[in-house]
Chains A and B, each alone.
Chain A
Amino acid sequence: MGTDSVAAPAGWDELASAALLGSQRGVRTGSLPPAELLDAAAVLAVARRAGIRPRRIAPQDLGSAASTPAEPAGSETATGSAPAQDGPGSESGPEPGPCASARSGTGRLDVLRSGFAEPDPQTGTTQPDTARDLARSAPALATGPRLTRPDPMPVDPRPLISPAAALRLRAILDGYQKYLPEWLATARATGCRIPPVFFPELLDLTRNNALIRADVTELLGGPGRWLAALNPSWAFFLRPPADPPLPASAPVRRVAAPVADFTAEARRLLGRPKNSNDLYNLVMRQPGLWPEEGVRLLIEYVAAHRYPVVNEVGLRIDGGMPTARSSDWAIEQLQRTIGDHAPLHLRRLVQELLEEPPRPGAEATNPVVDLYEILDALTFRADMHEELNARRRTPAHPEGRSH
């Protein structure tokens, strides 16, 4: 390898051609040793990348501040989204300049050759004048894109949720969507708004879940409708919600209505000695938050299943009630459901049960119920509420910004 190769007269195209066909068969480079070809290519490759510059914005590139919103990618109704004022090749087109093409999203480097001057292999610099001349000689390629910009999003004067609450929403969307309805309802009650970056995911979820529609509509407000108008997939969001939210034929409506006295029914089922999933069915049909008394019964019942030996002895629940025996599956579902729906202040009860010393005779047995799972879920939800309500309790906090 010699230094002469750095100043090789061959340009990039010649080197690429030779590399493509084989270095010994280059049309203009002749027989060039691979090392020398790569030496020259290294200098040119770096200089080429260094020479790429952003494209100048010309008035012709932009839509008229977008009285028409931008059409979504891949939309079949892209009419009106390209307010072309000058056709390709127009003399009043954008000032040509070196740029990469706009095949966005793919990360492909696709340099428009007409707008890119080969850099001087000695200095590694490009020659703007040459680039401009080349671009003018190929006006069809040099014409810039016709861009559309959406109207500005409507201002939402409500305060923004805290960053911690936004992080929690991120976590819920990523992996704990079962808590989303509760989060949305709580956030709606605070009167805050949520960062617009969450709008696309919430709109996608709302499309298939009418139960959260009202909360999402309220939380997203005008900015949400602004975004929904830009994507035909979210057109449903612009229509008034159907009333009632669920059709009468929905499966959830076919099950028996929740019992009026949840606590009494729970106590009755707990008193049955047979293995049954009735208790699980009862709690799964209970909408919203449960009455505290009923949940206390359930928590103590689940706690009693921590130690099988206790199960055999029988735990005293509410005055000598015998302990029902349920399948492991039902117990597991029960403990999850308690964690997800129980009133949050009952977290203390779970904590107390966890701190209780093992009952006599139960030390050597393995627990079959993990109260920590209930506690984790309750803590997650408690943190969720805390973050959302922290702003309301911080009087010194300024009003939400708006543009």
Chain B
Amino acid sequence: MSPQPSKILLMAANPEDGSERRAPVPSDPASRGRAPAAKRSPAPDPAGPGARDQKAATAARRRAEQRAERITAGLGDLELWLGDQIRTGLTTLKRAGYREIDEQARRLVDAQAPGVAGMVRELAGALADEDWADRTLTEFALLHLLVQGWRHRAALPDPLAATVRRRIGLTSTSAEVARVGEHVADDWLVLGSRDTFQDKLIERRTWLHGRASERIALLLSYAPPGQSPGPAPLVGGTLSLELVFVPEAAPLRAVVLHPDEMAAQVAPDPDDPAQLSQEVDIQSPACLAAGATLDELAERFAATLAVDPWTSGVPGVVAQAELGFDAAEDAWWVLDRVGSSMVPLTVPGEKVDRLRYQLLAACSGRPVALFGEYRPSGFTPITVFGDGGAVSV
């Protein structure tokens, strides 16, 4: 492993060491603001956009610079706050309760750094944990690392700088991603789909696996409460799409280059009985090709951490998974029959028991292909490719 934290910290210590740096990504408003003047204000091209477009571009750049300044100021405050807490001791913070954390998170929202605000809010959960000291220090350390990453983003490699921006909360438009990202056309197996309610929005996560590229992609879509993010792709089905991966240190997120093509494939023709009765071939090579062992997922997670230290988990398919129950600890485990290893089963939400039994039923007591997220704390199943076809849990 080549720990990226060390790299970030080393670059923080030696900001002039920018040997790995390449041209800034176009979607990086902050870096653009720091670029040489010649790059910031290219000479007007007679054949280029008109004066009106230039004016709009200048205004957009100014807004981006202002946002970057706000973020820098907000993260500066956060750094001071983190230092104060470490200086006085985390026990003091634990006694202070949620209010102080919430206040800090609000400031970061005002500073237009929603990603960091979310990380700060997670401190409340860390402080309430049984292993709160370790968890809180870990969260503090990752926040500190993110602050350093933002401060020295100009010296970071482009992919890592892009990751820092995304973790801060700066997003790129689909058009920007399409311009600079890696294009991959493939037949994509829909590994899983999950809707969650976050930040007053419905967030849909759809994971795909490329048949030829053998890459996993994550599509995100959002909708306001009460509305749908659109037709959900059939889990276990296949979509022929050209995706563009967001250029990051560990490319996972992607956008669909031609959304209309996806919409046409996602919505089945209700007048076609063959489509309605279409069944997913869970034994297809495409599905099995996505399979891995738990050890391989652990390796993949470690490798991802090496380039993106804020990663919380990696998606993957355990090719031959079973469930085991530890009565003494009232705990469930995911067993990998190929790799002869096991990790705890982690189930989010409140209806833990029902989800466990859903999973047990879907697995039917036999080894199945299980798609989910591998984390250090265990494996969170999302889709079971079992006797009942591809089913979301």
Complex alpha-carbon distance, A160 and B332, angstroms? 28
A311 beta carbon closer than 8 Å to chain B: no
Asked if A124 contacts B274 (CB within 8 A), the reply is no
Asked if B323 contacts A149 (CB within 8 A), the reply is yes
Complex alpha-carbon distance, A51 and B87, angstroms? 28
Interface string of A15-54 (1 = CB under 8 A from B): 1100111111100000000110111011111111111111
Q: Beyond the given A105-B346, A147-B333, could you list 16 further A-B residue pairs with CB under 8 A, ordered by the A residue number?
A: A19-B140, A20-B89, A22-B92, A34-B87, A42-B141, A42-B142, A54-B342, A57-B335, A72-B357, A73-B356, A78-B327, A81-B325, A102-B326, A104-B378, A162-B276, A197-B361
A21 touching B277 in the complex, CB below 8 Å, given contacts A73-B330, A102-B326 = no
Give the shortest distance, in Å, between B361 (CB) and chain A (any CB). 4
Asked if A195 contacts B388 (CB within 8 A), the reply is yes
Stretch binding the partner chain, chosen from B170-178, B199-207, B293-301: B293-301
Within 203-223 of A, Cβ neighbours of B (below 8 Å) are at: 204, 223
Asked if B335 contacts A195 (CB within 8 A), the reply is no
Complex alpha-carbon distance, A353 and B133, angstroms? 69
From A3, A51, A53, A101, name the one whose CB has the most chain B CB atoms within 10 angstroms.
Answer: A53
Q: Which of B145, B359, B366 contacts A403 (CB 8 A)?
A: B366
A204 touching B354 in the complex, CB below 8 Å, given contacts A38-B140, A46-B5, A150-B365 = yes
**Residues of chain B whose beta carbon lies under 8 Å from any beta carbon of chain A:** 1-6, 9-10, 12-14, 82-84, 86-92, 129-131, 133-138, 140-142, 144-145, 148, 234, 236-237, 268, 270, 273-280, 294-295, 298, 301-302, 305-306, 309, 322-333, 335-336, 339-348, 352-354, 356-362, 364-366, 375-378, 380, 384, 386-393
Interface string of A146-173 (1 = CB under 8 A from B): 1111111100000010111111000000
Asked if A197 contacts B362 (CB within 8 A), the reply is yes
Complex alpha-carbon distance, A182 and B95, angstroms? 56
Complex alpha-carbon distance, A321 and B177, angstroms? 67
Asked if B279 contacts A34 (CB within 8 A), the reply is no
Within 100-116 of A, Cβ neighbours of B (below 8 Å) are at: 100-111
A24 touching B87 in the complex, CB below 8 Å, given contacts A47-B1, A73-B330, A124-B6 = yes
Select from chain B the residue with minimum beta-carbon distance to A401: B387
Identify the 10 closest CB pairs spanning chains A and B, nearest first.
Answer: A195-B388, A147-B324, A102-B331, A54-B341, A22-B89, A153-B364, A145-B326, A34-B86, A196-B361, A41-B141
Give the shortest distance, in Å, between A202 (CB) and chain B (any CB). 10
Asked if B389 contacts A160 (CB within 8 A), the reply is yes
- Residues of A near B346 (CB, < 8 A) are 104-107
Asked if B276 contacts A386 (CB within 8 A), the reply is yes
- Residues of A near B386 (CB, < 8 A) are 196
A104 touching B357 in the complex, CB below 8 Å, given contacts A6-B10, A49-B376, A148-B325 = no
Complex alpha-carbon distance, A226 and B366, angstroms? 13
- Residues of A near B333 (CB, < 8 A) are 102, 104, 145, 147
Interface string of A121-145 (1 = CB under 8 A from B): 0011100000000000000000001
Asked if B348 contacts A197 (CB within 8 A), the reply is no
Asked if B332 contacts A104 (CB within 8 A), the reply is yes
Asked if B344 contacts A101 (CB within 8 A), the reply is yes
- Residues of B near A16 (CB, < 8 A) are 133-134, 137
- Residues of B near A196 (CB, < 8 A) are 361-362, 364, 386-388
Give the shortest distance, in Å, between A264 (CB) and chain B (any CB). 38
Select from chain B the residue with minimum beta-carbon distance to A101: B344
Complex alpha-carbon distance, A327 and B328, angstroms? 61
A383 beta carbon closer than 8 Å to chain B: yes
Asked if B131 contacts A109 (CB within 8 A), the reply is yes
Asked if B362 contacts A163 (CB within 8 A), the reply is no
Asked if B294 contacts A19 (CB within 8 A), the reply is no
**Residues of chain A whose beta carbon lies under 8 Å from any beta carbon of chain B:** 1-3, 5-6, 12, 15-16, 19-25, 34-35, 37-39, 41-57, 61-63, 66, 70-75, 78, 81-82, 99-111, 123-125, 145-153, 160, 162-167, 194-201, 204, 223, 226-227, 230-231, 383, 386-387, 390-391, 393-394, 396-398, 401-403
Complex alpha-carbon distance, A154 and B131, angstroms? 42
Give the shortest distance, in Å, between A57 (CB) and chain B (any CB). 5
Asked if A38 contacts B389 (CB within 8 A), the reply is no
- Residues of B near A47 (CB, < 8 A) are 1, 3
Asked if A386 contacts B270 (CB within 8 A), the reply is yes
Complex alpha-carbon distance, A82 and B331, angstroms? 12
- Residues of A near B348 (CB, < 8 A) are 107
Asked if B327 contacts A148 (CB within 8 A), the reply is yes
Chain B binding surface SS class: mixed
Asked if B87 contacts A54 (CB within 8 A), the reply is no
Asked if A153 contacts B3 (CB within 8 A), the reply is no
Give the shortest distance, in Å, between B76 (CB) and chain A (any CB). 13
Complex alpha-carbon distance, A214 and B347, angstroms? 32
Complex alpha-carbon distance, A78 and B82, angstroms? 47
Give the shortest distance, in Å, between B69 (CB) and chain A (any CB). 22
Asked if B236 contacts A163 (CB within 8 A), the reply is yes
Asked if A163 contacts B5 (CB within 8 A), the reply is no
A23 touching B86 in the complex, CB below 8 Å, given contacts A104-B346, A230-B357 = yes
- Residues of B near A153 (CB, < 8 A) are 361, 364-366, 387
11 contacts between A and B (CB under 8 A): A20-B90, A42-B5, A42-B9, A42-B141, A42-B142, A70-B327, A74-B353, A163-B389, A201-B358, A227-B357, A401-B387
A231 touching B357 in the complex, CB below 8 Å, given contacts A23-B86, A45-B141, A145-B333 = yes
From B4, B89, B279, B325, name the one whose CB has the most chain A CB atoms within 10 angstroms.
Answer: B325
Asked if B302 contacts A51 (CB within 8 A), the reply is yes
- Residues of A near B329 (CB, < 8 A) are 102-103, 145
Complex alpha-carbon distance, A203 and B12, angstroms? 58
Asked if A163 contacts B393 (CB within 8 A), the reply is no
Q: Which of A48, A54, A62, A111 contacts B336 (CB 8 A)?
A: A54
- Residues of A near B4 (CB, < 8 A) are 46
Q: Which of A21, A123, A125, A227 contacts B91 (CB 8 A)?
A: A21
Asked if A50 contacts B301 (CB within 8 A), the reply is yes
- Residues of B near A124 (CB, < 8 A) are 1-3, 6, 306
- Residues of B near A195 (CB, < 8 A) are 362, 387-389, 391
- Residues of A near B142 (CB, < 8 A) are 42, 45-46
Complex alpha-carbon distance, A73 and B325, angstroms? 8
Asked if A108 contacts B339 (CB within 8 A), the reply is no
Complex alpha-carbon distance, A147 and B327, angstroms? 7
Complex alpha-carbon distance, A393 and B278, angstroms? 12
- Residues of A near B6 (CB, < 8 A) are 6, 43, 124
Give the shortest distance, in Å, between B147 (CB) and chain A (any CB). 9
Asked if B90 contacts A19 (CB within 8 A), the reply is yes
Complex alpha-carbon distance, A401 and B322, angstroms? 19
Complex alpha-carbon distance, A160 and B362, angstroms? 13
